[in-house]
Amino acid sequence: MKDIRNIDFVELESFVIQNGEKKFRAKQLWEWLWKRGASSFQEMSNLSANFRNKLSENFTFHSATIIDEIISNDQSVKFIIQFHDLKVVEGVLIPQKDRVTACLSTQIGCPLACAFCATGTMGFIRNLHYSEIIDEYLLLNNRAKEIFNHSITNIVFMGMGEPLTNIDNTIKSIEILTSRDCFGLSPSRITISTAGIIKGLKTLADKNLRCGLAISLHSADPVIRRELMPVSEYNSLSDLQKAISYYHNKTGDRITIEYLLLSKVNDSERDAELLARFCRAFPVKINIIEYNPTDNAPFQKSDAQSREKFINILNRCNMVVNVRHSKGQDIAAACGQLVKKKRI
């Protein structure tokens, strides 16, 4: 049977009317699905038993479950989430003072195979449906309240996968998360992280979801970037620069550039100058990220002296620069470390 969350409101309303129910029942049903996060028809107490039976005869819930969780020394928590087909993804809760950030996945595996990222070693398995992305949020939000006594305040699409190669489901999940008729989250508290898929960036710009946008750049040298991120072969730096400018002109938003510093790969003075030159075309803030080790990867993080030289050059070029320290490294929950792996 079809998952009831895989149909839109018009189809749901049509089913309600065809089964002799009042039209307003569709809105009640929709609220149970997307506001209250119901995972069974029996929970829907304001619907008649007869109607709930009709729903159970025609639809099902492909609910997800948490099958494992690991707590970091810094209190971040990594979750292994299993879907109805037994495929799994990883998600992370990151507590910080008065907020809790959820790092959500959009795909099982990843098609991009970035050289520094463990997820890419899985290959691409499949996209997550928007209902599965919402399930991630619901499961992690429940655990956030239990563990931290605080609901999720921020969402980053920085888990497994490339959100813009699953753009329809990513956008639909954000629309549900931010809709007043559903979860009512503020778009400004959601960030989409992408390796820079040109077509997807233009779609996001035209949609103007009002979310944050982070571009994983990692090098403004076309040769180095192609070696680190094979996607750059089809999404060139010049085209990416134009797409970011298009996004800014459409939305007025400042973009975040994510830059992973790798020793003797992309941390030279020349690399810093190229990065500054790339970013002059639009207002940005630059997040410098320390490398998180992954199995069999040949990289090392930049030493403190190289990092400071790099940052000083960016500062002299009037760039807004932050150093981002990843959490959850000890449980392989930091950026680039998420990969399907059994618990040790």
pLDDT confidence of residue 37: 86
pLDDT confidence of residue 329: 57
pLDDT confidence of residue 317: 96
The rounded distance, in Å, linking the Cα atoms of 330 and 292 is 10
Hey, is 326 helix, strand or coil?
coil
Question: Among 103, 182, 211, 335, which one carries the catalytic annotation?
Answer: 335
The rounded distance, in Å, linking the Cα atoms of 324 and 322 is 6
pLDDT per residue as tens digits for the range 166-182:
999 999 999 999 999 89
Output the 3-class SS for 264-321: CCCCCHHHHHHHHHHHCCCCEEEEEEECCCCCCCCCCECCHHHHHHHHHHHHHCCCEE
Mean pLDDT of the chain: 92
Question: Which domains can be identified in the chain, with CATH numbers?
Answer: 2-60 (1.10.150.530), 65-331 (3.20.20.70)
Active site residue 335: yes
The rounded distance, in Å, linking the Cα atoms of 90 and 68 is 10
The rounded distance, in Å, linking the Cα atoms of 156 and 162 is 12
pLDDT confidence of residue 293: 73
pLDDT band at 117 (very low <50, low <70, confident <90, very high): confident
Across 191-195, 227-231, 313-317, 324-328, least confident range: 324-328
pLDDT per residue as tens digits for the range 310-341:
999 999 999 999 998 766 555 554 454 445 54
pLDDT value at 215 more than 60: yes
pLDDT value at 120 more than 90: no
Question: Among 90, 132, 136, 258, which one carries the catalytic annotation?
Answer: 90
CA-closest candidate to residue 160, choices 112, 105, 199, 210: 105
pLDDT confidence of residue 341: 47
User: Could you tell me which residue, 37 or 255, shows the higher pLDDT?
Assistant: 255
pLDDT value at 298 more than 60: yes
pTM of the model: 0.91
Question: Residue 214 in contact with residue 164, Cβ under 8 Å?
Answer: no
Q: How is residue 140 written in tokens?
A: 């992690």
The rounded distance, in Å, linking the Cα atoms of 249 and 253 is 8
State the average pLDDT over residues 29-40: 91
Across 202-216, 256-270, 293-307, least confident range: 293-307
pLDDT confidence of residue 333: 47
pLDDT confidence of residue 291: 87
pLDDT confidence of residue 308: 96
Output the 3-class SS for 39-82: CCHHHCCCCCHHHHHHHHHHEECCCCEEEEEEECCCCCEEEEEE
pLDDT confidence of residue 339: 55
Greatest alpha-carbon pair distance for the chain in Å reads: 72
State the average pLDDT over residues 139-168: 96
